[in-house]
Amino acid sequence: MFDIGFWELLLVAVVALVIVGPERFPGMIKKAGYWLGQFRRIVNSVKSEIKTEVDKADQLQNLLDDQKEILNRNLNIDITQPAVKPKTADSNTAETAEPRKVPDVPRPIETAVMRAEKEAAASASSSSENSPTDKS
């Protein structure tokens, strides 16, 4: 990390021993070691959290790519391309692609309304068949 060798550390230790004194030097070294350990733990914790988040982002990107591939394979369409080819200005008879065909699926409300109309028609026809008529 830093380009500090053994001799530089020894020089710093001798200067600190002269400035602080031999009585307080061991306590100072102990505190410096404690804070250095705390700093390393914090740095390692931040590194592991960043790595975890990057891994989650990679997994999410892979999942999205897999879903796109499955969607393209099942629908045989490319969702990144426009549904209709734009006409080109240089050709008067530019062919345009057919728009995507959406299956004609009745909406739930339309289905319920149609079912109610059929039932009403069926009950009206059955009630007219059961009614007595004059046979003379």
25 by Cβ neighbours in 10 Å (0-12 / 13-18 / 19+) ranks as: middle
13-37 mean pLDDT: 92
Give mean pLDDT, residues 38-44: 96
- 3-state DSSP percent of the chain in helix, strand and coil, to 5: 65, 0, 35
Decide: pTM greater than 0.75: no
Alpha-carbon span 5 to 11, nearest angstrom: 10
Mean pLDDT of 49-68: 93
Is the pLDDT score of 76 beyond 70? no
Confidence of residue 96 (pLDDT cuts 50, 70, 90): low
Per-residue pLDDT of 4-17, as tens digits, reads: 888 998 898 899 99
Q: How far apart are the first and last CA of the chain?
A: 115
pLDDT-based confidence at 136, cuts 50/70/90? very low
Q: Which residue has the tokens 């796109």?
A: 68
- 96 Cβ neighbours under 8 A, 6+ residues apart: 84, 85, 87
**What SS3 state is found at 129?**
helix
Q: What is the pLDDT of residues 98-115, one digit of tens each?
A: 666 656 655 666 667 777
